[in-house]
Amino acid sequence: MNLRVLAIARNTFIESLRQPVLLLLLLGNGLLTILITWMSAFSLADIETAEVQGDNKVLLDVGLSTVFGCGALIAGFIATAAISREIENKTILTVVSKPISRWIVIFGKFLGVSGAILIATVIMLVFLLMAVRHGVMSTAADAIDKPVVFYALGAVFISAIGGAWCNYFYRSNFPQVMTLLLLPLILLAYVAMLFTHRDWKFQGVASDLKPQILIACACLMMAVLVLTSVAIAASTRLGQVMTIVVCMGVFVLSLMSNYFVGRHVFDNQVVAEIEKANPTDPGKPLLLLPGESFDIDLRNSPKPAIKVGDSFYYSPSPTGFPMMTDSFPRFEGNLEKGETFLGSDVPPGLVVTKSEGQKLTIRMVGGKPLTRIAPPQTDDFVFLRPTSIRPLWLVAWGAFPNLQSFWMVDAVSQNRLIPPGYLLLAAAYAFCQITIFLSLAILLFEGRDVG
C-alpha cells in the first residue's frame, strides 16, 4: 500500500510541477511583491512593534494576503489537473482499473499536489521575507537594498537559465526544472541576505531574522494545505472552473466566518480596555497569592461603570475567550477587613477594591489562589462576568474551516507574541480539517463513474 501511495504521489508531484500555471502564478506573485514595496506607503507613522513598523505593516499584510490568494488559485488549478482532468480524459482508468483502492488514489494525489504547492508557497513566502527586509519605498529618495535585489534576482535568473538549458539540451520540462531549481536557490539567497548588511557588510544572522513572521508564514502554509484538501474534494465531482470557484469561495467565507458566526459563539460584554496594568507591590508582579493586588488604568471610561466589589475578568480577545482567570463566585464579604476577604472559607476570586473612573485597583481574595490565572496586561479587554458559550453557534462555527486561525499577521503587527506552542495547535486543527475534506473526497470519488 505504501509503495502504491508513493508511486501515485510521485507521478502527481511531477505532473503538478509541469503545469505552466504554477510557474506563472509563482513569478506573478514575485512581481506583485515588488510592486507592493512601492505601493504600501500609506504613512502609518513609526509605531514600533516587535518586528515590523510603520508602512512595513501594510507591506506584510498585503504581501501575506497575496501569497494566500495565489496559494488558493494554485490549489484549484493543480488539483483540477490531478483529478478532474484525468477523469475527463479517462487516463485515471489506468490506475483505478488495477487492484488499487480509490482512497489510495485520493491520498496519493493529495500528497503529490501538496508537495508541489508547498514548494510554490515556500518560494512566494521567501520573496515576501526579502521584501520585508527591503522595506517600503516611501519616496523616490529612498535607497534600494541592493543585496536583496541582487540575491533575489540572481536566484530567479540562474533558475531560469538552468530551466532553459535543461529544456534545450535534455528536453526537460521548463516549468518543472525552473521551479525545482528556484526553491534551493531562493532559500540560499535568503540565508545570504541575513548575513549581508544593506551596505554589503557582514552582519549577524539575528539582525534581520524575524521569528514571529516566520511563525506567521508557517501558519499560512498550513492554511494552503487545508485549501488543497478542499480543492481535491471539489475536483472529484467538478471541472476546473467550478473547482476554482469553490476554492475561492471557501477562501473568502472562511476568513469571514469569525464575523458572521464566530462573534455569536461567545456571550459576554466588553466593559473597557486596559491601558496600563502594574502590581501594587513591585515585588509581587504575578498576582499569584491571596491579598496581592494590581493597579489598572483603563483606556476608556467603562460602560457600564465598574463599582467596588465587582468581579474582575479580562481576556486578550474581545470575545472573552480564552479568559485569563477561572470563573469564580461573586464576593459578598467586607473588603475593609482582611480577615473577611482572606478567610479560609472565602472562595478565591478577583475583586475591584478601588474604582475612580478609569483607575481601578483589583485584589485577589479568598483563602487560596485561583487555579488558573495570568496577570493582566496592556490591551487586555475587561469583563464583569465569565464568558458563556452558545452550543448551536459553536457547532455551526466548527463545521466550516476557519482560516483566521492561521492568519497571524494581526498578532505580529500589534506586537502580540505568538507562542511556539500555537504552531502545534494550528497543525492539529489543520490535520483535522484536511482529514475531514479528504474523507469527503473519498466518499465523492467512490461513487464517481470514471469509465
Residues 325 and 413 in one domain: no
Q: C-alpha cell of 305?
A: 461603570
Q: Cβ neighbours of residue 320 under 8 Å, at least 6 residues apart?
A: 266, 268, 270, 313, 381, 383, 386, 387
Q: How far apart are CA 251 and CA 227, in angstroms?
A: 7
What are the Cα distances from residue 114, in Å, to 14, 16, 123?
12, 9, 14
* 381-383 β-sheet, strand order: 313-315, 381-383, 272-279, 293-298, 359-365, 349-356
Residue 64 within any structural domain of the chain: yes
Residue 425 within any structural domain of the chain: yes
Q: C-alpha cell of 299?
A: 483606556
Residue 303 within any structural domain of the chain: yes
What are the Cα distances from residue 292, in Å, to 284, 289, 361, 366, 380?
7, 6, 10, 11, 19
Residues 240 and 117 in one domain: yes
Residue 451 within any structural domain of the chain: no
Q: How far apart are CA 161 and CA 106, in angstroms?
A: 35
Residues 253 and 143 in one domain: yes
pLDDT, block means (10 residues), the chain with 451 residues: 84 92 93 86 54 78 91 88 81 75 89 95 95 82 88 96 95 94 96 93 89 92 94 88 88 86 91 94 87 92 92 92 89 72 84 92 89 87 94 87 86 80 92 93 83 61
Residue 394 within any structural domain of the chain: no
Given 357, 386, 415, which residue is the final one in a domain? 386
Residues 19 and 94 in one domain: yes
Burial label for 376, CB within 10 Å (0-12, 13-18, 19+), is buried
Structure confidence at residue 45 (pLDDT): 47
C-beta atoms surrounding 32 within 10 Å: 20
Contact 186, 30 (CB under 8 A): no
Contact 200, 51 (CB under 8 A): no
Give the helix ranges, DSSP H, for 43-145: 56-79, 85-88, 93-96, 102-134
Q: How far apart are CA 160 and CA 132, in angstroms?
A: 24
Contact 225, 114 (CB under 8 A): yes
Number of domains observed in the structure of the chain: 2
Burial label for 171, CB within 10 Å (0-12, 13-18, 19+), is exposed
Contact 22, 16 (CB under 8 A): yes
Given 340, 357, 386, which residue is the final one in a domain? 386
Residues 100 and 158 in one domain: yes
Residue 395 within any structural domain of the chain: no
Residues 286 and 164 in one domain: no
Structure confidence at residue 369 (pLDDT): 85
Residues 159 and 182 in one domain: yes
Q: How far apart are CA 315 and CA 268, in angstroms?
A: 11
What three-state secondary structure class fits 232?
A: helix
Q: What angle do CA 150, 151, 154 make, to 5 degrees?
A: 80
Residue 189 within any structural domain of the chain: yes
Q: How far apart are CA 377 and CA 373, in angstroms?
A: 12
Contact 353, 361 (CB under 8 A): yes
Structure confidence at residue 233 (pLDDT): 92
Residues 252 and 356 in one domain: no
Structure confidence at residue 337 (pLDDT): 64
Structure confidence at residue 446 (pLDDT): 85
Residues 214 and 249 in one domain: yes
Q: C-alpha cell of 188?
A: 540560499
Residues 65 and 96 in one domain: yes
- State which residues form the domain around 285: 268-386
Q: How far apart are CA 318 and CA 321, in angstroms?
A: 8
Structure confidence at residue 32 (pLDDT): 92
Q: Please give the torsion angle defined by the CA atoms of residues 413, 414, 420 and 426, in that order, rounded to the nearest 10 degrees.
A: -80
Residues 257 and 289 in one domain: no
Q: How far apart are CA 383 and CA 321, in angstroms?
A: 11
Q: How many residues does the chain have?
A: 451
What is the per-residue burial (b if ≥16 Cβ within 10 Å, else e) of 154-166? Answer: ebbeebbebbeeb
Residues 274 and 256 in one domain: no
Given 386, 410, 431, which residue is the final one in a domain? 386
Residue 431 within any structural domain of the chain: yes
